[in-house]
Amino acid sequence: MSVYDMPRLNNFSAVAKHYAKIKPVISKRHTREQDVRPLGDRNRKWERVQKLSDDCYAFYDGDIGDPIAYSEWHRNGEGITLEASEALAPIMWTREKGGWNREILRVRNGSGNGAHNGRYSFLERALPSGFAFAVDNGKQFVILDGTRYFLPKSDYYAWGWRQFKTNTPKDDCKYLEFERSPGEEWRVRTNSFTYVPPRVLVDKERKKKFKPAMDSYYSWLLVMAPMFREHLEHFEYEYNDDACQARYQAKHSLAREKMEELFAYAKEQNWTDDDRLYAFEMKGDHALIIMEDEEHPMRMNMAWSMLLDSPLFKAHESDRKLFRGHYNRWINKVCGFNKKIDAQVITSLEEK
């Protein structure tokens, strides 16, 4: 089964011709009426092209949006509406009516905040040869002529807890569109589009005020954490080793105990009115109270989850750089030093 046996079709006519020459897959699961036509390798039938009209073709990758079930386990879009199916197609080729012959290429990310690795792989292989696709620091981009266009994830028909979420009942239109007239090059089509994705930056001026307390807390953890090394350091889990299993249970039981103690303290201080432990998250102002008080009883409890997933005991004892970076990222988050910068929207004044 070849992942890369897929043509990179560069114009609407090429898409129409390619569709016409593909023999539909007919089996006990797929009928002729379903018109399942694989883009490339016929064994990867979920990566397919669908004719919606003489002027519109959709590419699907088997993710949410494709209403066809490919196996008992591969049926992500079963029961989806026709309107949603067309809206959620990863790639849509449209030819405008009226004799203009202008081509419109629409590109869409997955729905929901999780990783959509199958979608990323598909876009990388199915976009026209003049385009590129990239994933950088957890964000996705379509690249044209060296310019990276941020491809946001949609909330439309986002999948969660084994059912479709309905918090976005209408298409949120989170996609990119490019257009090209005969004899012209591709250009971004929408009049306003997200050029720079949302970012999280550190408020350095605010953080500077707490640097003495932050450094003191770091030094304190370097002294105190090794006392709990057995319960914090990473080790390989062995299914057939009773001693290893017992150590694993003790490690995670103690971690939960530390979190329960921190949660109980937060309840006593009226820092939270939520009764759900799994939903509890320390607020920045409260974390600062703990960090600044060198005698606070919750100093180790607050840092426990960070220490549990830290490289403190993986690196050489004399090399603290890895742990310092890990600690720094955690302190930025828990103490509220991070600030979110909204996406930068570029508005073109050019008439489209």
pLDDT beyond 80 at 226: yes
Report whether 177 contacts 104 (CB < 8 A). yes
Residue 105: closest CA among 125, 90, 84: 90
- Residue linked to tokens 């403190």: 312
Question: What pLDDT does residue 163 have?
Answer: 47
Question: What pLDDT does residue 99 have?
Answer: 61
Question: What pLDDT does residue 351 have?
Answer: 38
Mean pLDDT of 220-226: 94
Residue 18 host element (H or E): helix 12-21
Domain extents in the chain = 12-194, 204-336
Question: What pLDDT does residue 29 have?
Answer: 83
- d(CA 203, CA 77) in angstroms, rounded, equals 42
- How do residues 178-189 score in pLDDT, each as one tens digit? 999 888 999 998
- d(CA 60, CA 46) in angstroms, rounded, equals 7
Greater confidence (220 vs 3) lies with 220
- How do residues 294-313 score in pLDDT, each as one tens digit? 999 999 999 999 999 888 88
Report whether 76 contacts 159 (CB < 8 A). yes
Give residue 240's pLDDT band: very low, low, confident or very high (50, 70, 90): confident
Neighbouring residues of 119: CB distance < 8 A, sequence distance ≥ 6 = 61, 63, 90, 109, 110
Q: Whole-number mean pLDDT of the chain?
A: 87
Give residue 155's pLDDT band: very low, low, confident or very high (50, 70, 90): confident
Would you give the distance in Å from CA 218 to the centre of its chain? 31
Mean pLDDT of 155-171: 62
- d(CA 57, CA 19) in angstroms, rounded, equals 9
Phi/psi-derived region of residue 334, left when phi > 0, alpha when psi is between -120 and 50, beta in every other case:
alpha
Give residue 194's pLDDT band: very low, low, confident or very high (50, 70, 90): confident
pLDDT beyond 80 at 76: no
Which of 68-77, 78-87, 331-340 is predicted with the least confidence, judged by mean pLDDT? 68-77
- How do residues 107-142 score in pLDDT, each as one tens digit? 999 988 888 999 999 999 999 999 999 999 888 999
- d(CA 23, CA 36) in angstroms, rounded, equals 9
DSSP letter string over 147-214?
Answer: EEEE-PPB-TT-EETTEE--S--S----EEEEEE-TT---EE-SSEEEEE--EEEE-HHHHHHTHHHH
Question: What pLDDT does residue 352 have?
Answer: 36
pLDDT beyond 90 at 337: yes
pTM score of the predicted model: 0.68
